[in-house]
Amino acid sequence: MSQELLTDEIKQQLGGVGPVEIVVGIPSYNNARTIGRVVQAAQVGLLKYFPERRALIVNSDGGSKDGTSQAVEQANIDSQQVLLVRHALYPVHRLTTPYHGIPGKGSAFRTIFRIAEEVQATACAVVDSDLRSITPEWIDLLLRPVLDLEFDYVAPYYKRHKYDGTITNSIIYPLTSALYGRRVRQPIGGEFGMSARVARHYLTRDVWNTEVAGYGIDIWMTTTAIAEGFKVCQSYLGAKIHDAKDPGADLSTMLVQVVGSVFRLMEDYVAVWPKVAASEAVPLFGFPFEVGLEPVPVNVARMHDSFRQGCSDLESIYRAFVPPQRLAELNACAALADDAFVLPDELWSNLIYDFALAYHRRTLDRGHLVKSLTPLYLGWVASFAGQTAYETGSQVEDRIEHLCQVYEQLKPRLIQEWGIGAGEKRPES
Amino acid sequence: MRQFWEWSIQGPLKELAQEALQTLPGLIATVILVALGFAVGWLAKQVVYRLLRAMRFDRLCDRLGISAIIEGLGLARSSSYLAGQGVEGIFVITALLAGLNALPSNISRNLVERFFAYLPHVFAALGVLVLGTLISRFLGRSVLIAAVNAHIPSAKLFGGLTRFFVLSLTVVAALDELGISRTTIIVAFAILFGGVVTAAAIAFGLGARDLASEVLRTQFQPPPKQETDDSLRHV
């Protein structure tokens, strides 16, 4: 099936390049504004840190109409200015290819993995094309643990603004840590390093026509790597500053793809996560330095309104899977004044488990279920923004770690109600 | 006198007795068939009810939203019990029809024939009703969730209207299939629907003139981006 991904023209181009050791993939869709700098950073990173290795930069594009491909072609570096200590033995090749399949980041990744397989690469890194804070060091930090320390999967670790990555902070990080027992702080970060073994493994899985083809790809890759026992680590990359992800995509669609993927993975790995009792830290490489971050303005009042409207208008939907007592707690929160509004961690974690259980039991259409989480999620963001308005980055991190602990404490209830036993889907491997 | 007795009294009585004797087997057969139908129907109900309960049919109906519809109809029974009753009903109706057919009467036979000719329409109408109800629930919920996520204040109203519209179409289609006052129903539906839309338009235009102009203005001239808009990056 993966054979069809590459056209004859691309195969011909790859034949001209020959075998390479490192592939750096950059998925893109209308990122002309930022991709040039990302390509330059990747190129400098490869020349500076891996001068003795053959490398290829692959831009897998989803049919951009803003000149993204031209920006990639024009992104050349001035070797005089870069000041390389060692001269590179080989040039860094570049390739731009459209991807096939369902439009989305996952389909772009699939093409990159297929190219890595075709050129027999030993390590592969992927970086988002909307990055504004990428430096050549990111390439080293993402690939070095794979090439020198035999890690299979390198997840990023960044300093982000407290209101950046709120789905990660409220659901994905705490839930993934509680379920699989490995604390990967940015499981859907967007930048990853991986061994050829993992990339090949991803290609064998039949998931490319699901949410994984879209925003679900990041969490799917991370969860698969953890749950299937690959060696996982994190690399500190500094600040993550990037453009907003696909402004056209609405929040509820994003939730369906990301949170829906986590819930679906719970079914795939039902033989794994119930056995995990506690979480542990994952090795972290790099030097964690302090960075300045761009402010992220938030409209808390509008999020309060969304939460209240959701509690009132969607109550008939929630009643199908949220216990009455919890529903009463939710309504009590909705009745609070804006300045006193707090959504307790216990209530939030229990709600996420209720949604996961309803997803598993197919209590209602899965798309409807996850989309109906949107106002509650905005309520969490409003509560979080209110509580952390004057907190420092480390205080916010402590708060998120506390949320992780609550998820872990409540996990036995999830296991008990999941009803593991007959008829459960097991992992393919 | 004897001749009169034989001709006027005994004769008709004999004829009646002969006719009764001719009809009696059919009548007895009818009674037996109906009794058998009730007995087998009751037995089938028990079997189906227990089997469906063991197969967790109620849970399936909960997931599909069928239980909620049953509850909405005021039937305070479980889905598996109602399915059992349905099976019992089929047995009883079949037995009644067989009984009617066993009677040596053209009227009863004609009735049975007409019933069987009408049966496909009943099933088609039932199918339309079930499908329409499920579609109305799905679409109503889609509209409700989308409207809430888009911060539309009357989200519940839009969801309810969607359900009402699809359900109305379903009922009209089902009644049309049954051939019940076809023209009257279509005309009544058209008048009702046209009336609702006209009334809503007039009410919106007269009662909420300012709101109407505001809606149209924002529709064609989006407001400038406010500084307080958030630029949250969720993932």
Look at residue B155 and give its three-state secondary structure: helix
Query: Which member of B147, B229, B234 has the closest CB to residue A166?
Result: B234
Query: Which member of A258, A309, A317 has the closest CB to residue B151?
Result: A309
Write down the pLDDT at residue A82: 52
Write down the pLDDT at residue A427: 41
Query: Quick check: A88 pLDDT over 70?
Result: no
Do A259 and A390 have their domain in common? Answer: no
B151: contact with A, CB 8 A cutoff: yes
Q: Is residue A427 part of a domain?
A: no
Write down the pLDDT at residue A2: 46
What are the tens digits of pLDDT across the range B172-191? Answer: 889 888 888 777 777 877 88
Residue A166's domain comprises 2-285
Tell if the CB–CB gap between A309 and B232 is shorter than 8 Å: no
Q: Determine the residue of chain A that is closest to B60 in CA distance.
A: A363
Q: Give the pLDDT band (50/70/90) at residue B222.
A: low
Q: Is residue A425 part of a domain?
A: no
What are the tens digits of pLDDT across the range B71-112? Answer: 766 676 888 899 999 999 999 998 988 888 888 778 888 888
Write down the pLDDT at residue B227: 46
Query: Which member of A251, A297, A372 has the closest CB to residue B231?
Result: A297
Percent of chain B predicted with pLDDT > 90: 29
Do A97 and A149 have their domain in common? Answer: yes
Q: Is residue A292 part of a domain?
A: no
Q: Determine the residue of chain A that is closest to B150 in CA distance.
A: A306
Do A221 and A147 have their domain in common? Answer: yes
Task: Say which range, A140-154, A321-335, A388-402, B186-200, has the weakest mean pLDDT.
Answer: B186-200
Query: Quick check: A100 pLDDT over 80?
Result: no
What are the tens digits of pLDDT across the range A295-310? Answer: 777 888 899 999 999 9
What are the tens digits of pLDDT across the range A196-225? Answer: 999 999 999 988 888 787 888 999 999 999
Alpha-carbon distances of B197 from A223, A353, B194, B201, rounded to whole Å: 52, 43, 5, 6
pTM: 0.79
Q: Give the pLDDT band (50/70/90) at residue B127.
A: very high
What are the tens digits of pLDDT across the range A265-287? Answer: 999 999 999 999 999 999 999 98
Do A250 and A165 have their domain in common? Answer: yes
Q: Is residue A329 part of a domain?
A: yes
Do A239 and A370 have their domain in common? Answer: no
Q: Give the pLDDT band (50/70/90) at residue A69.
A: confident
> Which of A231, A253, A285 marks a domain boundary?
A285
User: Hey, where are the domains in chain B?
Assistant: 1-104
Residue of B148, B161, B228, B229 to mutate when probing chain A, most A C-beta within 10 A = B148
Do A249 and A313 have their domain in common? Answer: no
Q: Quick check: A176 and A223 in contact, CB under 8 A?
A: yes
Residue of B149, B163, B229 to mutate when probing chain A, most A C-beta within 10 A = B149
Write down the pLDDT at residue B202: 81
Do A252 and A376 have their domain in common? Answer: no
Strands A153-159 and A192-195: antiparallel
Q: Is residue A404 part of a domain?
A: yes
Query: Which member of A254, A317, A364 has the closest CB to residue B234?
Result: A254
Q: List residues bridging with A44 in a β-sheet.
A: none
Tell if the CB–CB gap between A163 and B232 is shorter than 8 Å: yes
Tell if the CB–CB gap between A244 and B62 is shorter than 8 Å: no
Query: Which member of B65, B149, B231 has the closest CB to residue A375?
Result: B149
Write down the pLDDT at residue A232: 97
**Higher local confidence (pLDDT), B20 or B144:** B144
Average pLDDT over residues B50-61: 87
Q: Determine the residue of chain B that is closest to A299 in CA distance.
A: B230
Task: Say which range, A16-25, A85-94, A335-344, has the weakest mean pLDDT.
Answer: A85-94
Do A21 and A146 have their domain in common? Answer: yes
B58: contact with A, CB 8 A cutoff: no
Average pLDDT over residues A389-415: 93
Q: Is residue A410 part of a domain?
A: yes
Average pLDDT over residues B200-215: 74
- How far, in Å, CA of B118 to CA of B111, rounded? 11
- Domain CATH code at residue A40: 3.90.550.10
Q: Chain-centre distance of CA B163, in angstroms?
A: 16
* Dihedrals phi, psi of A250, to nearest 5 degrees: -85, 165
Do A311 and A212 have their domain in common? Answer: no
Write down the pLDDT at residue B57: 87
Tell if the CB–CB gap between A314 and B62 is shorter than 8 Å: no
> Which of A285, A319, A353 marks a domain boundary?
A285
**Under an 8 Å CB criterion, which residues of A touch B?**
163-168, 188, 190, 215, 218, 242, 244-245, 250-252, 254, 258, 296-299, 302-303, 305-306, 309-310, 313-314, 317, 361-365, 368, 371-372, 374-375, 381
**Higher local confidence (pLDDT), A156 or A289:** A156
Do A309 and A166 have their domain in common? Answer: no
* Dihedrals phi, psi of A182, to nearest 5 degrees: -120, 125
- How far, in Å, CA of B232 to CA of A167, rounded? 10
Write down the pLDDT at residue A79: 56
Q: Give the pLDDT band (50/70/90) at residue A63.
A: confident
Contacts of A252 in chain B (CB under 8 A): 145-146, 149
Query: Quick check: A13 pLDDT over 70?
Result: yes
B135: contact with A, CB 8 A cutoff: no
Do A203 and A276 have their domain in common? Answer: yes
- The 3-class secondary structure across chain A, one letter per residue, is CHHHHCCHHHHHHHHHHCCCCEEEEEEECCCHHHHHHHHHHHHHHHHHHCCCCCEEEEEEECCCCCCHHHHHHHCCCCHHHHCCCCCCCCCEEEEEEECCCCCCHHHHHHHHHHHHHHCCCCEEEECCCCECCCCHHHHHHHHHHHHHHCCCEEEEEEECCCCECHHHHHHHHHHHHHHHCEECCCCCCCCEEEEHHHHHHHHHCCCCCCHHHCCCHHHHHHHHHHHCCCCEEEEEEEECCECCCCCCCCHHHHHHHHHHHHHHHHHHCCCCHHHCCCCEECCEECCCCCCCCCCCCCCHHHHHHHHHHHHHHCHHHHCCCCCHHHHHHHHHHHCCCHHHCCCCHHHHHHHHHHHHHHHHHCCCCHHHHHHCCHHHHHHHHHHHHHHHCCCCHHHHHHHHHHHHHHHHHHHHHHHHHHCCCCCCCCCCC
Q: Is residue A389 part of a domain?
A: yes
Query: Quick check: B226 pLDDT over 50?
Result: no
What are the tens digits of pLDDT across the range A111-124? Answer: 999 999 999 999 99
- How far, in Å, CA of B173 to CA of B169, rounded? 6
Contact partners, residue B16, CB within 8 Å, separation at least 6: none
Report for A161-170, A326-335, B21-30, B191-200: range of highest mean pLDDT: A326-335
Write down the pLDDT at residue A245: 56
Q: Give the pLDDT band (50/70/90) at residue A378.
A: very high
Q: Give the pLDDT band (50/70/90) at residue B218.
A: low
> Which of A261, A285, A309 marks a domain boundary?
A285
Do A168 and A55 have their domain in common? Answer: yes
For chain A, what is the domain count?
A: 2
ipTM, 2 decimals?
0.84
Contacts of B148 in chain A (CB under 8 A): 306, 309-310, 313-314, 372, 374-375
Contacts of B65 in chain A (CB under 8 A): 364
Query: Which member of A317, A363, A372 has the closest CB to residue B63?
Result: A363
Q: Is residue A181 part of a domain?
A: yes
